[in-house]
Amino acid sequence: MPHISRARRVVTAIAGVVGIALVATACSGDGASVVPDVPEQVDAALPAETQQQLQGAVERAMAATGSSGAIVGVWAPWSGTWIAGLGTTTPGGEEVSTDMRFRVANVTRAMTCDVLYAAAADGLVSPDDAVTEWITGMPGYENVTLEQLCDSTSGIASYAPRVVERWRVTPERVWSPKELAAYGMGAARTGEPGAAFADSDTGYLLLGIALERATGLTAAEMYEKYITEPLGLQATVLPAPTRNLAEADAPMLNGLYSPDNPEGAVNCAEPMDVTALSSSTGYTAAGVVSDIEDLGLYVQALATGSLPGATDERFASPLPASANGPTWYTAAGGAYQAGSLIGQYGAIPGYITGAFADPSSGMAVAVVLNNSRASATVGSDLAWELAAIASKAPAASGQTAPPAGLPWTAEQYGEYVAAAAVCPLPEG
């Protein structure tokens, strides 16, 4: 059901207290010390026509991915807000509500880099440190720096493609970060350190391990100290690896995955429920849980460099995010830059997410779909489609709309979402 208020820290915080049961180190909610430097949000709903376009885009993506539910938030400071839960938690299950938690997947990567720069500002570590200064038993990696791990330019391969099928079979199994990292490190290098961007979940695991040793904190405590506590986030945590999120006290959006049926086609009607997946599978690469309002506020803070230790250098020298991609699509500092937007997207079993914000206008979009069978790129495609729609929202009374500046159209990325469909799309 739709919800339109963005002035939420008091009201949502009360409901968010139940999320503390997810992990012992959840933030106390004493109040934010950091506020993203963006234009003040108009306290109004986005116009009905804009809402209809946004909802249509999300519902088409739900159909394309076989998702029974989705949660979306769109904030256009000059025009209004739209926050909604769509569909059901499972086929035939309860209605999705906007306070439900979900795994943010690759957004965790940006948070791990936040910790790197904050810890560097505290004098605990340097981005130029070799990873071998903090993690022993890594011969041959002396020329890989912590900054390269953050930028995904380390040349270390990813681990998830090599173990994801095992996660679906035994989702509750707890994995050691070093065990998972070994799968990536045991594969062929993707390139020389610093040469090119190649997204590496292994790199973010190694960065998390190094930062734990540098700060003397657990990963959950690092996120609390440097991110959730400064921003006053009430629902954002790295759950304990043994915590079964399917049994969490806080409301959870079920995570689904559509397997193949005996004939080899995608079984869109009967997806597997993988909500119980251990957070250890993602850890400091993809393990964080949040809700949509926390995610929207976080991505604004990320884009504006509002968190402790943020520097202009973090996003100053981006590299192409893909060999054949548009020139406006780059990567640096654990995030992607798409035109004027900064954010992250990705997938982990059960969820596809995307969250981006414009540091100048303050516009932010965040969305989660609860079936991970389709390509993770649906997370960025849908987020950019929503951003294109929101960027054209008319100004509220007394406000001025920013100049349109995104180098793509909503129709273009709506077509990309449709092209990635693994389940039948509605006719018309």
* Cross-strand bridge partners of residue 351: 348
For residue 1, is pLDDT > 90? no
230-271 pLDDT, tens digit per residue, is 999 999 999 999 988 988 889 999 999 999 999 999 999 999
What is the arithmetic mean of pLDDT over 403-421? 95
Of residues 264, 237, 258, the one with CA closest to residue 249: 237
325-349 pLDDT, tens digit per residue, is 999 999 999 999 999 999 999 999 9
The long-range contacts involving 247-250, CB below 8 angstroms and separated by at least 24 positions, are 247/276, 248/21, 248/22, 248/101, 249/18, 249/21, 249/22, 250/16, 250/18, 250/19, 250/21, 250/22, 250/101
Crossing angle of the two packed helices 292-304 and 107-121, in degrees rounded to 10: 50
Global pTM? Answer: 0.93
For residue 403, is pLDDT > 60? yes
- Sign (positive or negative) of CA dihedral 17, 18, 24, 26: negative
pLDDT of residue 428: 64
3-state secondary structure 283-315: HHHHCCEECHHHHHHHHHHHHHCCCCCCCHHHH
Of residues 145, 147, 122, the one with CA closest to residue 334: 147
As a whole-number percent, the residues of the chain with pLDDT over 70 amount to 93
Residues making up the chain, counted from first to last: 428
The answer to whether 140 and 230 are in contact (CB under 8 A) is no
